[in-house]
Every structure is written in structure tokens, then in C-alpha cells.
Structure 1
Amino acid sequence: MAPTGEQHLLSTEIVNNGIELSGPDAGSLTFSVRVRRRLPDFVQSVKLKYVKLGYHYLINHGIYLAIVPVVVLVFGAEVGRFIKEELWRTLWDSASGYDLVSALAFSCVFIFTLTVYFLSRARSIYLIDFTCFKPDDDLKATKDEFIEMARKSGKFDEASLEFQKKILESSGIGDETYVPKSIMSPEKTATMKEGRAEASVVIFGALDELFAKTRIHPKDVGILVVNCSIFNPTPSLSAMIINHYKMRGNVLSFNLGGMGCSAGIIAVDLARDMLQANTNSVAVVVSTEMVAYNWYPGRDRSMLIPNCFFRMGCSAVMLSNRRRDNSRAKYKLEHLVRTHKGAHDASFRSVYQEEDEQRFKGLKVTKDIVEIGGEAIKTNITTMSPLVLPVSEQILFFTTLIKKYISGNSKSETSTSTLEKSWNNAPSSSGTKPYIPDYKLAFEHFCIHASSKTAVNELQRNLGLSNKNMEASIATLHRFGNTSSSSIWYELAYLEAKGQVKKGDRVWQLTFGSGFKCNSAVWKAVRRIKTPSDHNPWLDCVERYPMAAHSQFSQVNPLT
């Protein structure tokens, strides 16, 4: 019997706990059932409406590319006939000016179409360079040191400490991540003073390196976008940056808050829109999160989980729409697709900031986060596929889709059997499995948000990726932990440190977070990225990877 949708989402494990010692069931064996939640199996369900949405994006962006070839063909045929038969005679013979008028008319149409195309075409967005902040070594903490700091703070009972220890052991996080020393203080850490202090260290550290790398003066920056989900002081973090670097008075600044781990790509999207509206401009995007300000000192286990995963980190990205920057840029933005599931109550509350019974503030993570996140990821990937997949993969995809539709119609006479319902059903109804495209044909490199080992393993399984494809995500989680919205940039820095990015390579950045949101960005390398000599957080440890990280990931991938 084919598995049901619920069986795809959940796996169970029966554990023998021993023998009941007392009570009415004394002498009998006791068992417990562990339910392991998994991402929805992408192979078994794809929503057609999101495939159609992706093609809608493709058609909207390609309408002028479809018109120009037609005009060129018509114009070329007319000019060819015109030259062959009577070009010179018409030019000098005023009595026969009809064909000249026709040629001029076609020329005007051709020039007008080209003008409309170039004026309507979105400006190319170049990524000049980026940096990822690496804290000082005195902020490093092993997993044991982390638990010891939590114990010294006096804020947790032994049950809470033991729970955090178990989470850390299975998290995929290594022993060199960075945490603020203030978390061991018995005093309250979620203060504006602590938040501003941590923000100054990570943000200014990343920006100092960025301006040194790009040799662009802060006063030349026309657009500034800062995203930090939890810590949002007044004046804003963007104002703090402007004040520190004495930026010009007409800089367009934006501060994004409460948007979770996927805010890094949202910030890039906002910067792209602003660059499209402001010619000859440079934009800086800063993505970070404050660990100490987000530290939860209570006992609610669903709110203790973020304590175990989030670590210090910050990224700073320099974008430009200036054509002269093409020669010095590293990447060009190809596509950006955003998905938001906040209209559904369960998705909206899957990661929710609130106070517990003791009035301690923290992030509450629901048990359904894996399934909810999986639905958002599936929607985003399905929408993006028509924009990035080669034609051969799309033909195979739609061939399977049509086969399933025909097979479904032949076995069902109900009037409600639509194409989308047929596609969403398990394959047992028709015997035809959906064809999931090979995304390795669309991208050379993958930077998937390193939120946890479970999420990384499940995405690897669903997308059919190898350990090599997931290497950057696995290594980043192990070395730096979950740095929230900046994690995808640590992953890209890893690929550069390994010298793996060549000219023409496509990089897929996939992020997901509270809301619930999932966002994708596709970058194309405009030149070979040489192994950096400085300003890369991986330079002192990259030779130890991937083995240092893979040793802690229990999943064995047959695709490797």
C-alpha cells in the first residue's frame, strides 16, 4: 500500500523503556513512541498553481525578447527584398518613393521597439563584493563551555540545562562558534545597552572590511538596507551606521525588523528595487542578529531551542547598478523569488515571539515547524523552477504531469477531479510518480540556510542533492552555527575560500524563516573568484572541511 500524506510527514519509533515496577501494570513491558516530523515529500506533491505562477513571471520578463526577434525578421526580410530589387533606384529616383517610405517606416518601428526594450529592461544588479564578520577568538565557545556559561548565569534549572545539552549534541554545531560573554551574567542580557554593544561589534566589523575590500568610501553609498529581526532600537541600526561612518545626508536608508532568518534576501530585493529606481547608485545591505538580546532565560522548552542554535554573525554586501562595475563585480543577480505563507494561522504562529508564564520574552518554535517550513520551501522552489531549469527538464516534468492527469481521468469519473487535485494526490491513485527536476543541472553551487542539521538533511533528501552540494551549508552550521539572515553569505564565503566558483557558475541561495517565509536568489559569477588572501572568515580553517563537519552528520547520502 502506498504511503499516505501523513505518513510522509511523520516517522515513528517504538522504544522499549523496560518493565513497569509498580501499579496495576506491574511486571509488564513499557513502551514509548517517538514521533519524528519530516519535511513534506517534494516527490509526492507539487501544486500546479505555483508552476503556473513561475511561468507567469517568465512571460512577463520575456515579452520584449519575444517581440524583438519578430521585428528583426520582418525588417530583415523587407530590407533584403528592398536592397535586391530597387534600393539604389529608389534612393535617387524621386518619382518612385513608395519603397523608401516603407523602409523608413520599418526602420522607425524597429528603432522604437529597441528603444522600448532597452528602456523597459531592468538594470543589471552587480554584487561587487561582500564580507562576513568573524568575532575574536575569546568569544569562541565549545558546546560544553556553552552549557557551563548557561549554568553560571543561574537562570536555568538542571532539567533545562540537560534539554539544551541534548539539543546541542544533535544540532550539527561544532565547538568553535561565537557567543557573547554577557550571556553568562546573572543580570538581564536583553537590554538596549547590551544590544547596541553587540550590534556595534558585528556590524562595524563587517562594514569596515567591506569598505576596505571594495575601496568605496561610505559617502559614495546611496542606498543602505539593514535587517535585524529581534533588536530594533531607536534611532535605528541604519541610523547608527550613518552616524558612525558620517554618510551623506541624502542616503536612502531602510531598517527591516521582525522578518526572521529569510530577511537577508528580502533586504537584497529591496536594495534591487531601489537600484532600479535610482541610476548610477551603490547600495549596501547589512544582515545580522543579536544573540544576547534574543537570549531566553526561562524554562519553556519550545523557547529554549533558539538559544542552542543562534550564534554571533553579520554580513555586509555591496551592490551596484553602474555598468562600469561589471568589470570588477563578482556576481550578477539573475532571479529573486519570494514566498510568504503568513495568511495561514499555523504558519504565522510557527515562530512567534511572546512571553512565557514567568514573563520572560523569547521565540517560541512550534512542533509543526518542519512541515510548515517544508510547504513554504516547496512553494518557492516550484515557483522558481520555470525561471532556472533547462528546457529538457521542464519537458520531462510536464510529460509526467500530463501522464498523471490522463491516468487520473481514466480511473475516475468524478467531475471534481481537476489537474491540480490529481497532481497533489499520492501516486497510488494512478501509479505515476511526479518527475522532480534535477536542480543540479540548473545550479553549480547551493547555499541553503543552515538552520539545523534536521533541516539540512531533509532538504538534501527531498531535492536529491549530494553531500558535495550541501557542503557549504553543513560546514557553516558546524563552524559558525545558525547566524540567521547572514548564514547564506558565510556559505558563499566558504565556496570562495575553497576556490570552487568559476566564471558563469550559478549560485542558488535559499532562505526560510518566521512568517512563514521562503526566499530564493540566483547569482551568476561574472568572473572566476580567486581564493581570497584576506577578509574571509574561513581562511584559517577551510582546509579542515568538509570532514570536520560531515563527521557530525549522521545521514549517509548514497548520491555522494
Structure 2
Amino acid sequence: MELFSMAILGLIVFVCYSFTYLIWSLVLQYWKDQPCYMLAYECFKASEDRKLNTDASAKIIFRNKNLGLEEYRFLLKTIVSSGIGEETYCPKIVMEGRENCPTHDDALYEMDEIIFQTLDNLFSKTKISPSQIDMLVVNVSLFSPAPSLTSRIINRYKMKDNIKSFNLSGMGCSASLIAIDLVHQLFKAYKNTNSYAIVVSTESMGPNWYCGKEKAMILSNCLFRIGGCSMLFTNNESLKHQAILKLKCLARTHFGSNDEAYQCCIQVEDDDGYRGFRLTKSLTKAAAKAFTLNLHVLVPKMFPLKELLHYYPLLRKSSKTKSSALVETMGIGLNFKSAVEHFCIHPGGRAVIDGVGKSLELSDYDLEPSRMALHRFGNTSAGGFWYVLGYMEAKKRLRKGDRILMISFGAGFKCNNCVWEVMQDLDDANVWKDCIDSYPPTSLVNPFMEKYSWLNDEYLSFVRME
């Protein structure tokens, strides 16, 4: 009996010790975790002569001699239903008619224009000197020169010689959150509680304009436009009263082991040797699966306990489903509005925005910022998030304490999502200043059909268009 009592006592001591150790480990982990505050961001806005209206779009399309009537009709249908308006911005070399023969200097010019304009505005706005920057991360998927773009920035602004610089390429539309995650990890690794970091997210559009006739590759010309954003971050707790956002949690999912997902969004050459970006019908299926996998990681970090009690049975059920439908695999029955107030879906295309909205049971109000960013600026790749955030801010939707869920998909295939906390009431009109009062418009229908509906006339089926 005495031995039994001693065994019970020993077990109790062991359990208490284990529990204390667990609590202490969690406390230490909390103390060690470095905060990640966003102090400011600046989006790129091109000059008015770059606007791609209906007539400019038609001119670009009709000068491609590789296209025939079937391709013209496909483009007409795609443009009209894309959700993109007439005020997006086109690369300079495309407006000048030189998209079929881009040079290295053209690529550098496009990057310099976007990167240096946004960085100049960011430094001016925050009064932070380039010499104070400790970390620099640049993500551009389709252009990686030597010296790197980070080196080009460091040289231009004469940044300090011990700066930690990283150049990310090939990451696709979700690269912005990858870059931010890298900054957050660097804050933890270097344990300097007074660091500044810059993230630049953009894409090389002009030199990668597709000049062939494959429909799956023409899509990229219809959706992608020039844009980008530069952001300033710090882990300095004393500056949190100046911060606009605080990173609460971030989850990254890579579905590249699946061949179909890997191939659904990929840069290739067509049969005629024209290089472009191919978007296949499998993209929606890959996005649904990747998003579901991501939510399994993200949901426990962002939801209140009450919702989590309903989560695990749904998690087990959704993990067994074989369906690829967005509605059945993405939302898994959770009330996302119990965890966040705002939804920032990457404006990659109308189908993706609508699909995510349907699966998460979001309202038109929730989807409005992403739809309007797509309409006004198009798909600006990794920089697209911040045009959506800018819309929310310009509409004075963001109040202190609000939470924002950012949802992104990218080549690979990747799904990267995160949650931000709004640190102060935000109302800067930013790049939306000249048009925010006219948004949302009464209709998102592109007027391309009004002028070029004749392409669908049956008699043209017997005519070869030159």
C-alpha cells in the first residue's frame, strides 16, 4: 500500500513538473517571439498615358499577327468577363508596340520605375533613412538580373554594408507573404529588437508579354498589369504606436509535390517558341486543395475557442473528401467572420475571388475591396494585396483592433495566408485618391463587347482575318 501511495505521489509530481515545464516553455517562446509591425506601405501608380482602355487593348490584340478569328473571339469573351476595367496600367514597351522584342534595358527600366518610385515615397513618408535599413527583401518572379535587384537598390540608396539582403524569384503571386514571413523569421534569428526591414513586391510584365496564340497563355495578357508595392517593417516595440498593422499569424502551404498542381501555373514556351505564362483549367482545383491544407494550419491559430470546438470534426471530415469543388473543400463550414473583420483576397482573377467568397460564405461587402482592386489595377501579381488594403483604407473601413485575413495563391503551387491586426484607425486615400469616390461603380462589365461584338458574327466564320 505504501509503495502504491509513493507511486501515485511520484506520478502527481511528474505531471506537475511536466505541466510547469510546458507552461514555462510557452512563456519563453512568447518572450522570444519577435513582433512584426508594418509602419507604412507605398503602391506604384503609373502615368496616365499607360492606361489600357478598350481601344488600346484592341490595338495591341489586332497587331499580333499570330492570332486568328478564333483567338480574337476567345480574347473578347475573356476580357469582357474578367472583371478588369479600362483604367489599368500597361507596360511601357507594350504601349509602344515593342512587346515582341524586349531588351534587358527595358526590363531594368520597368523595375527601376516601380521600385524607386515606391521606395522614394516610402522613405519620404516615414522619415526613415535608407541607411537605417537592416534587412531588404525583393520578390520579382520573372526577372532576376546580376547584380541582383537588391544590390541595385542598395547601390542607389547607398545602404550600409552589413545589410541582410535577399532576392526572391519564381515565387508567383503569393511571394509578398513569403517575403514578409522571411522578414519575421529574420527578426527572430538576429534577436535585434530595434531593426528595420524593407520588402519590395512587384513583377516584370513588359518583357514577359506573350506574343503567341495558345489560349491558356493568352490569358496572362488579359489579367496581368504593372504594379508593385514597397513596405517598411520593424520589430521595435517602442514604435508600435506608429505602426499601422501587426502580424498575428502566417501559414504557408506548398502543393508542388502534386504534378497537376505544379503544372497549372507555369512559365513555358509554346510550340512556336513564344515564351509565356500558362494558366490551365486545373488551377481552380489546385487552389482549392492548397487552401484547404493551409486552413488546417491557420485556423487553430486565428479562431476563438468556441469556433475551434466545432472545427476538429469538420477538419477530419474535410480531410477525407475527394471533391475538388471550392465550396466543399475550402471553408469546411467555419464562420470566418467570428475570427476576422476584413478579407483581403489576392485580386488574381474574378473566378478566384468569387470562389473563395462562396466557399467562406462572404458577402459582396467582404469581396468588394478585392473586386475593385482587380477592376481598377488588374492582377499586379505579388503587389496586388496592397491595392486591396489601400481600398479598405481609402474607404475608411479599417479601425483599431480590426483583424484582416489575407489569402493568396501562387505558382508552385502555393497558398500563403496570414492575419493582421490593425493598430490604428486608417484613412489614407493612397493610390485610390483620384477615383475612390466613384467606387464601387454601378457595373463591372467591360465595354469591350459594345465596340467589338461584331467578332461574334456568324458570317466571319467563313472569312480569314488579316
User: Shorter-normalised TM-score: what interval?
Assistant: 0.7 to 0.9
Give the secondary structure class of the aligned counterpart of 1:175. coil
- Within 5 Å, give how 1:71-470 maps onto structure 2: 113=24, 117=28, 120-152=31-63, 154=65, 156-183=67-94, 184-186=96-98, 188-278=100-190, 279=192, 280-398=194-312, 423-424=320-321, 436-470=333-367
Q: 1:186 to 1:322 in 2, by over 3 A?
A: closer
Q: 1:326 to 1:367 in 2, by over 3 A?
A: same
Contact 1:282 1:318 in 2 (8 A): yes
- Offset of 1:163 from its aligned partner? 2.4
- Offset of 1:359 from its aligned partner? 1.0
Q: 1:189 to 1:381 in 2, by over 3 A?
A: farther
Give the secondary structure class of the aligned counterpart of 1:216. coil
Matched to 1:135, the amino acid is A
Contact 1:190 1:295 in 2 (8 A): no
| 1:532 match | 428
Give the secondary structure class of the aligned counterpart of 2:431. coil
| 1:504 match | 401
Q: 1:421 to 1:68 in 2, by over 3 A?
A: closer
CA distance in 1, matches of 2:266, 2:228: 23
CA distance in 2, matches of 1:496, 1:466: 19
Contact 1:174 1:549 in 2 (8 A): no
Give the secondary structure class of the aligned counterpart of 2:358. helix
CA distance in 2, matches of 1:435, 1:235: 46
Matched to 2:171, the amino acid is M
CA distance in 2, matches of 1:190, 1:378: 40
Contact 2:138 2:200 in 1 (8 A): yes
Contact 1:147 1:165 in 2 (8 A): no
- Offset of 1:172 from its aligned partner? 0.2
CA distance in 2, matches of 1:297, 1:546: 33
CA distance in 1, matches of 2:351, 2:178: 24
Q: What's the CA shift string for 1:369-391, capped at 9, x where partnerless?
A: 11111111121123211111122
Contact 2:251 2:418 in 1 (8 A): yes
Give the secondary structure class of the aligned counterpart of 2:229. strand
| 2:451 match | none
Give the secondary structure class of the aligned counterpart of 1:468. helix
Give ranges in structure 1 of 5+ residues lacking alignment.
1-65, 71-112, 402-418, 427-433, 553-560
Q: 1:187 to 1:306 in 2, by over 3 A?
A: closer
- Offset of 1:501 from its aligned partner? 0.6
Q: 1:232 to 1:370 in 2, by over 3 A?
A: same
Contact 1:182 1:189 in 2 (8 A): no
Give the secondary structure class of the aligned counterpart of 2:286. helix
Give the secondary structure class of the aligned counterpart of 2:178. helix
Give me the TM-score of the superposition, normalised by structure 1: 0.71
- Offset of 1:293 from its aligned partner? 1.5
Question: Of 373, 390, 394, which residue of structure 2 is paired with 1:476?
Answer: 373
CA distance in 1, matches of 2:97, 2:217: 19
Give the secondary structure class of the aligned counterpart of 1:519. strand
Give the secondary structure class of the aligned counterpart of 2:113. helix
CA distance in 2, matches of 1:389, 1:464: 16
Q: 1:541 to 1:119 in 2, by over 3 A?
A: closer
CA distance in 2, matches of 1:425, 1:479: 37
Give ranges in structure 2 of 5+ residues lacking alignment.
1-18, 324-330, 447-466
Q: What's the CA shift string for 1:195-238, capped at 9, x where partnerless?
A: 11111111111111111111101111110000011111111111
Contact 1:230 1:294 in 2 (8 A): yes
Q: 1:344 to 1:239 in 2, by over 3 A?
A: same
Q: 1:264 to 1:425 in 2, by over 3 A?
A: closer
Matched to 2:436, the amino acid is V
Give the secondary structure class of the aligned counterpart of 1:273. helix
Contact 1:229 1:258 in 2 (8 A): yes
Matched to 2:360, the amino acid is L
- Offset of 1:301 from its aligned partner? 1.1
| 2:5 match | none
Contact 1:132 1:490 in 2 (8 A): yes
Question: Of 487, 496, 503, which residue of structure 1 is paired with 2:384?
Answer: 487
Q: What's the CA shift string for 1:105-124, capped at 9, x where partnerless?
A: xxxxxxxx599727853011
Report whether the alignment pairs 1:522 with 2:419: yes
Contact 1:313 1:486 in 2 (8 A): yes
Report whether the alignment pairs 1:547 with 2:441: yes
Q: CA RMSD in A?
A: 2.3
Give the secondary structure class of the aligned counterpart of 2:138. strand
CA distance in 1, matches of 2:250, 2:98: 44
For the pair shown, the structure with the greater C-alpha radius of gyration is 1
| 1:36 match | none
Q: 1:182 to 1:400 in 2, by over 3 A?
A: closer
Matched to 2:428, the amino acid is P
Matched to 1:310, the amino acid is F
| 2:464 match | none
Q: What's the CA shift string for 1:309-330, capped at 9, x where partnerless?
A: 0001010110101122111111
